[in-house]
């Protein structure tokens, strides 16, 4: 089932094009990441989904509803944690949660949520006295207090220390376990890679690619390298004749094989057939950081996103 659908979204601020034909769909129960450089149009896109901005053209469906025309209903079913949450300094954690839960028809049990987010011990602490991590957790709790089917989390862990980031990630995984669809806007590649089922890379107001984290990494580079050592002589042709291999180098028994496709499997199979034991067999891993740089550079070179990149 589709939870969110964005089709051909356009938004300008005066002469400046912030969102330029963005399309993607998010399935129910997914964590869908949106990554992109500063000013890419991520916040404008999610604020349009939340009904906080009116697009110039294009369509948005949130659980089959239009965020502008069906604003009241969308508000009930969509939880939003946006970049800057500001609350009165004197409000306590419990007061904020109770107040926000009163805004909804079928709110979650705010006490349970307070427990889930590890805020029970801070229930009587005033907002101004909370640490950065506690404020962040409170803003997530407030995004979930309406018992939403879809939650938008923007810059979830910005400003948190490494431990608090990890705790927040576990928390989001627990929230996903409750069936909530999550749209996650982030600058952090490790966060996107760890949490997202699929990711849209947005650059210059356009979708550069939509795929799983592994798919984005594979899309961004066809070239892989496998390294290993062997304890006895190996005939180079064992490797050069493999269809996936483009280059083979051997320096004093240290081999470097370059190619594409399922390179590691091909090389390991060929070595086994030649009855050669490889030591320290490893593939040079690419990560989402590399993919992001490659994909956003590629988008800058080509004015049109490729057909295959549009979801």
Ligand X SMILES: Nc1ncnc2c1ncn2[C@@H]1O[C@H](COP(=O)(O)OP(=O)(O)OP(=O)(O)O)[C@@H](O)[C@H]1O
Phi, psi (5° rounding) for residue 268? Answer: -60, -40
Phi, psi (5° rounding) for residue 279? Answer: -110, 150
**Which of residues 9, 31, 40, 108 is near ligand X by CB under 6 A?**
40
Residue closer to ligand X, measured from CB, 43 or 196: 43
Q: How far apart are CA 123 and CA 125, in angstroms?
A: 6
Q: How far apart are CA 83 and CA 154, in angstroms?
A: 6
Q: Using CB under 6 A, count the residues that bind ligand X.
A: 11
Residue 38 DSSP code? T
The yes or no reply on residue 213 touching ligand X (CB under 6 A) is no
**Which of residues 3, 23, 31, 44 is near ligand X by CB under 6 A?**
44
**Which of residues 1, 15, 16, 251 is near ligand X by CB under 6 A?**
16
The structure tokens listed for 79 are: 């939880």
Q: How far apart are CA 19 and CA 41, in angstroms?
A: 5
The yes or no reply on residue 18 touching ligand X (CB under 6 A) is yes
**Which of residues 2, 8, 27, 39 is near ligand X by CB under 6 A?**
39
The structure tokens listed for 180 are: 């909530």
For residue 166, how many C-alpha atoms fall within 13 Å in the half-sphere facing its CB?
2
Q: Are 278 and 228 in contact (CB under 8 A)?
A: yes
The yes or no reply on residue 13 touching ligand X (CB under 6 A) is yes
CB of 18 to ligand X, least distance (A): 3
**Which of residues 23, 43, 101, 136 is near ligand X by CB under 6 A?**
43
**Which of residues 6, 24, 32, 36 is near ligand X by CB under 6 A?**
36
Please list every residue from 234 through 263 that binds ligand X, using CB under 6 A: none
Interacting residues with ligand X (CB under 6 A):
13, 16, 18, 36, 38-44
């Amino acid at each position: 089932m589709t939870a969110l659908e964005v089709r051909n979204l356009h938004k300008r601020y005066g002469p400046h094009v912030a969102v330029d034909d963005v399309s993607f769909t998010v399935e129910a129960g997914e964590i869908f990441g949106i990554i992109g450089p500063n000013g890419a149009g991520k916040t404008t896109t999610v604020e349009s989904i939340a009904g906080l901005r009116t697009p110039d053209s294009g369509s948005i469906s949130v659980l089959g509803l239009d965020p502008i025309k069906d604003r009241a209903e969308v508000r009930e079913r969509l939880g939003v944690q946006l970049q800057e949450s500001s609350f009165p300094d004197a409000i306590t954690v419990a007061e904020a949660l109770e107040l926000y839960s009163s805004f909804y028809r079928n709110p979650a049990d705010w006490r349970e949520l307070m427990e889930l987010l590890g805020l029970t011990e801070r229930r009587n602490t005033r907002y101004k006295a909370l640490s950065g991590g506690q404020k962040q957790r409170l803003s997530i709790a407030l995004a979930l207090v309406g018992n939403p089917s879809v939650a938008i989390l923007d810059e979830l862990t910005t400003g948190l220390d490494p431990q608090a980031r990890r705790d927040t990630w576990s928390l989001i995984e627990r929230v996903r376990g409750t069936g909530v669809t999550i749209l996650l806007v982030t600058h952090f590649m490790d966060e996107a890679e760890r949490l997202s089922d699929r990711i849209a890379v947005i650059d210059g107001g356009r979708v550069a690619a939509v795929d799983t984290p592994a798919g984005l990494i594979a899309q961004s580079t066809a070239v892989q390298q496998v390294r290993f050592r062997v304890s006895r002589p190996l005939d180079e042709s064992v490797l050069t004749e493999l269809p996936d291999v483009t280059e083979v180098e051997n320096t004093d028994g240290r081999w470097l094989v370059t190619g594409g496709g399922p390179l590691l499997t091909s090389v390991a199979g060929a070595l086994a057939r030649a009855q050669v034991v490889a030591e320290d067999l490893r593939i040079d891993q690419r990560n989402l950081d590399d993919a992001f740089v490659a994909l956003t550079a590629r988008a800058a070179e080509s004015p049109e996103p490729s057909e295959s990149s549009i979801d």
